[in-house]
Amino acid sequence: MLKAVFQYDFLRNALIASLLSAVICGIIGVITSQKKLLMMTGGIAHTAYGGVGLGYLLGFEPTLGAGIFAVASAFIIGAVRKKGGVHTDIVIAMLWSLGMALGIAFTGLMPAYPPDMNAYLFGNILTVTKKDLYAMAALTAVILLAVVMFYNDWLAFLFDSGFSRVSGIKTGVLEYLLLVLVALSIVELIRVVGIILVIALLSAPAATAAFFAKSLKGQMLIAGIFCFGFCFTGLLISYNLSIASGAAIVFAAAAVYFTALLFSKLRKNS
């Protein structure tokens, strides 16, 4: 496998995609886990499917369509959350279902089913192109810049939003910014694990890292390392056993998380 990385472009692309994904999961995965926004993340991801279908139907880049739908749903969810009440979960569920339904409807209007549609649903890290890598690198840079520039504000916002509001931090702006960053992260990770499995890659590394570190920086670093390990292991399994790469990555993530959870329980009971 390691020898093949130097021989084949698609394996080098997959390895670089794993590194970029690790940066995103280390940052956004930890933040969404801390704010308990994982179901919201799933809603945004599945809404993006409508944009993929629209892209295929109208003949433009499906990833661009996914980004438009994901960001739009992020703003809708943000507006509903800001007003409060019990409707947020309902809105997320409706957007989740509507996005999938639109994607199915749009592709159904086409003369033939797009042959690579499953790559957007379930991911295929082995099909990542250099064009995809450029887009992923640009999104990674935007997300990194947004987090680094406002790191102290993020820290206060995550652990004591009431105090950060009193301190003059614009928590409303941060919340909308977080939702947009989540949407961009989903768009970046779609090519790696797909719309349906993206929530696992954003949650498993962060959840596993929480067993090993308490500080925000520590969790982000360890989550990134775990994410790269999951992607690389999934890549190995996919390459050697011809198993879908997205599924293999999630298998690796789930196995490590549940192992860490088991050891944590045993240590507490001993």
In the prediction, which pLDDT does 86 show?
A: 60
In the prediction, which pLDDT does 5 show?
A: 53
- Cα-Cα end-to-end distance for the chain: 41
Question: Could you give the number of structural domains in the chain?
Answer: 1
pTM: 0.86
In a domain, 217, yes or no: yes
Give the model confidence (pLDDT) of 73-118 as tens digits: 999 988 888 776 567 788 888 999 999 999 999 988 988 888 778 8
State the average pLDDT over residues 244-256: 90
| 177: pLDDT strictly greater than 90 | no
In a domain, 176, yes or no: yes
In the prediction, which pLDDT does 163 show?
A: 64
| 176: pLDDT strictly greater than 70 | yes
In a domain, 268, yes or no: no
| 203: pLDDT strictly greater than 60 | yes
Torsion of CA 70, 74, 77, 79, to 10 degrees: -140
| 269: pLDDT strictly greater than 80 | no
In the prediction, which pLDDT does 9 show?
A: 81
| 190: pLDDT strictly greater than 90 | no
In a domain, 269, yes or no: no
Domain that residue 242 falls in:
2-263
| 197: pLDDT strictly greater than 60 | yes
Length, in residues, of the chain: 270
In a domain, 270, yes or no: no
Buried-state track 248-269, b at ≥16 Cβ within 10 A, e below 16: bbbbbbeebbeebeeeeeeeee
Task: Residue 128: name the closest of 243, 250, 235 by CA.
Answer: 235
Q: What is the CATH number of the domain that holds 136?
A: 1.10.3470.10
